[in-house]
Every structure is written in structure tokens, then in C-alpha cells.
Structure 1
Amino acid sequence: MFFENRVGPFDWYEDDSGGFKAFKGRFLIYDRAGKIQDFVLGQIALRNQRTAEVYLYDPPLYIGKHRHGRCMQLLTPGGKWFRLHFEKPASTFGDAYTFVEHMLTEAFNLTH
């Protein structure tokens, strides 16, 4: 069962060990019927009060077909972590989470 609260989904946890607030968990990917089909591990970091930084671990190849697919930047050569660059950065965990989950779901449904 999947639950959300005002901040975000309950299966995400807060990690402030890096000297800043970060949330770690799974971005869920839904099919057209609303059923969970896949997930992508991720992190949303709040280093300051104005912007949320989004990182995705080994996102599916079909994300490249999405109009925002080109906004993904590989962090290190040969690595699997990508950073998502926003045209207008999200300022809260909830906004960042919602945007990414919608983007992944749209990309999935474009290709399946």
C-alpha cells in the first residue's frame, strides 16, 4: 500500500548526515491504469531554502524519449547517478517529488 502525507510518500526517509537535508527513496512509475509498474531510486537534496536538487540512480532508458529527458546529467563517467536539471527549480521536496514521478510516468506511458 502506498501512502502520502503533506511532505511526501511515507517510504522515503530523511538523511541529514551530509550537513544538509536530503530525502532518499523510490520514485514510483505508474501505467495508464494507475498501477505501479516500476520504480527508480532517488534522492532529493535541500542544500538551501530555495532549491531542491534531484538525483536518480540508473534511470530507465525510456526517460530519454521524454521532453525533459535531455535534462538528465550523468554525474560521473561510468557511474549510474544522474542529476535532473530544472528550467525552474523546485523549491520543496513535495514539488520535486511530484514533478519527477510525473515525468517518469509520462516517459513510461509514451513507450509502453
Structure 2
Amino acid sequence: ACLKTRAKLGGWQLVESLLLGEKVTFERLDDSLDPLSVMAQIRFKVQKILKWKGGSDEGYLAEKTKYLAIYGSINPLFFFDLCEFLFELEFSMKNGFHGGLFYLDLIQVKLESLRKRHTPILQRR
């Protein structure tokens, strides 16, 4: 387990870690990661979860179950809010806002506030 946490995070692992609420620091990022592609990947993953309607796809099911465990229920609003936020952030980055790796903090703060807003009070620990 120790080795795993020290491993550099590539795009998908980063997306996964962020969505699962793990704290991600810059040291753990793969150096080749481009902020804009990270955003696009997060959005892609989120949209995949949003569109998931059930069915026999084991991968999707495992994925969905993981997020259900964290968020209590997949609240579509959570993901719509997240997508909207990512679009805005991506847009501002394309238009010259490059807070270095600052975007990572922004995403984590946003995810945290969305989780608080969209998780039923009883499920909060």
C-alpha cells in the first residue's frame, strides 16, 4: 500500500483520486500531466458516470458503486455542478489564467464544497 501512495499519478489515477476525495499534492503528479488534459479527463469521467444507466457493464458498475459509497447517492446535480465548474476553469485556463498547478487546489476545494452541499446531512460523517 505504501508503494502505491508514493507512485506518480497519471491522468486517470489523478481523476479517480480527486473524485474519491483523496488529498492530492503536486509531488504526486506525473510530470507530463497537462492541466487542460486533466480537466478534460475529469469531465469525461464525470459524464460517463452521469450517463450510466445500469446494465451489464461490470466496469461501470464497479465505478458507480465506488462513488455511491462516497456520495451516498449519485446526485446528478453534484456532477452537473462539477462539469460546469470544470468548463469554467478550463475556459479561464485557455484564456491565459495559468495559476501554475494551482488548478489542482481549486478542483479539490470545489469537490469538497460540492460534496458538502450535495450529501444528505444524515450521511455526513
TM range (shorter): 0.3 to 0.5
Give TM-score scaled by structure 2 length: 0.36
Relative to its length, the structure with more strand (as a share) is 1
Give TM-score scaled by structure 1 length: 0.39
- For the pair shown, the structure with the greater C-alpha radius of gyration is 2
Relative to its length, the structure with more helix (as a share) is 2
